[in-house]
Structure 1
């Protein structure tokens, strides 16, 4: 039960870090570390209890492998759906690529590790092949671990209940369709309206800041179309102050703060986006020096896998230096072991 010690340590780190600021990606690392250590401790305890429980553990491992195959098939199917409904783009291909990677990379790693050992290839070639297989395994585990930390904590953070009435509601833009608000963006606006209308009578309603500039393929700024929708749903014109110059989420947050300042509403801010985008928006708000928290709105089920993968890739790119150090450490570790095994005794 020694693995309970890291589980407790990770749990304490998670609670402390979460209380200091819920908008930290490391909260997800601590949470997954605690749950993973607890799960592994439980599995090892069961395996040591009896032969029957050992068989159950092996069956669980086999079931996990089957679930990976099921997940791969689901992602491939979702990728095909995304291409049909949303068109061809790299973002829409992500779930298809992830599904194929789940099928190909484990098979490649197993082939590199076990196949050369049964051949008459030189010992050095066999060693290098095994090293490459191990490196693929480590890379897969790193990707799985970081995605689990991001994905699981995204779900946890998106369920966070913000009970304080905000002074301003910033609604992040997400693109127009023929100049009009599409369903994805409408869900964000409807969530903001629900919060706006929930303010008790006699209390100042929050400022509504629909935020988004004009893309190259858009006939007008997103903020203008979003403001039009809010007004059509009964929002008070004096409460709607669109931001129409931003071209990214970071600019959404920074320029919307300037709109709040100009309107004299620099108090607490609540940012509204879709569920899949909540954690990254919160990380960007923190990086921009804003104390804003973020809430999410529903997203079409078929769109969620690709959307989460896009957010994960974006976060990994934003933390590319840290990831480069981690990957380089893995490569260096495997290379060192390989060199040691190839060195003459």
Structure 2
């Protein structure tokens, strides 16, 4: 549930405020009185620190995204999905420049648009922070159930074989399988899930099944799903295969760590008894991949975000109207 991410980030920020307050009380000789210096200074110091750190953090983020985008250009294909970190870095670099230019223009439309860009950038940044923190935590969690099935979510196969990204998912799934056996539980079904894309010579599910066989997973424990083209289809079709095999009970979906949260959100929306766990991913690949996940999560909750952002739009409209009146 995304609200858990909101609560997590809020808890971290409140903890920071609390620690600053305690540190101030421990180091300061000023008595603490309500409304006095001892009460307001910790908050003021924290806000001052944020005021100084936010622009620095913003610049560091822009440089990181631009550098990562160039790395993706060197190591991966030049597809749109691999250019997302570069595009995001350029967008963040252009946003404050556009705001200053629009404010200097002095027109009502320019000022309103600058305020809109400011609010939109701030809102998306806050949402990004929530999803980033929650995805980081969730992607490193372990399954809390005894799985009756392990679903391996597919990814692109290259030249008919598994690339490192997909291999990480398969190895994590094999680890879950072996851990279940070591704990004395029945062997779970292994369901490699993925259809054949237009740029693939074979269905992903079949290629993954061969990898599992080569790593010692018994063939009778492997049930291939080879029709899915999206994460939602991976989950739905695999759940149907598990039901057809008469193995009711919880399942574990294995994917990469940046993708685990969205897989869990989809499983919850589909009312499937599935937990998601993440496998390690090459660091340079994560930013662009996570930006895709963030966009998918935002689109999946677009009505909610439209409602939450509506007050900002009303404020922009009010500023536009007031500017026209004052300018007139």
What band does the TM-score fall into relative to the shorter chain? 0.7 to 0.9
* Structure 2 residue 160 is matched with structure 1 residue 179: yes
Q: What's the TM-score once normalised by structure 2's chain length?
A: 0.87
Q: Report if the CA contact (8 A) 2:194-2:204 is conserved.
A: yes
Partner deviation per Cα, 1:123-174 (whole Å, 9 max, x = no partner): xx2x443332222111111000111111111112223332432111000001
Matched, 1:93 2:94: no
TM-score relative to the length of structure 1: 0.83
In the alignment, is the contact (CA less than 8 A) between 1:275 and 1:299 conserved in 2? yes
Mean CA deviation greater in 235-244 or 195-204: 195-204
How far residue 179 of structure 1 moved from its aligned partner, in angstroms, is 0.9
| Structure 1: gaps spanning 5 or more residues | 1-23
Which of the residues 288, 293, 317 maps onto 2:299? 317
CA distance in 2, matches of 1:337, 1:42: 38
SS at match of 1:343: helix
Q: How does 1:1-345 map to 2 (within 5 A)?
A: 24-37=1-14, 39=16, 58=48, 61-113=51-103, 115-116=104-105, 125=107, 127-198=108-179, 199-200=181-182, 203-343=185-325
Paired residues of 1:170 and 1:211 also in contact (CA < 8 A) = yes
Query: In structure 2, how many angstroms separate the alpha carbons of the residues matched to 1:239 and 1:335?
Result: 60
Maintained 8 Å contact 2:20/2:46: no
| Alignment CA distance shift 1:56-1:283 (3 Å) | closer
Instruction: Quote the offset at 1:75 in angstroms.
Output: 0.5
Gaps of 5+ in 2: 25-35
Distance 1:336 1:57 in 2: 28
Q: Residues 17 and 43 of structure 2 are in contact (CA less than 8 Å); yes or no, is this contact kept in structure 1? A: no
Q: How many Å separate the matches in 2 of 1:53 and 1:149?
A: 22
- The RMSD of aligned alpha carbons is 2.7
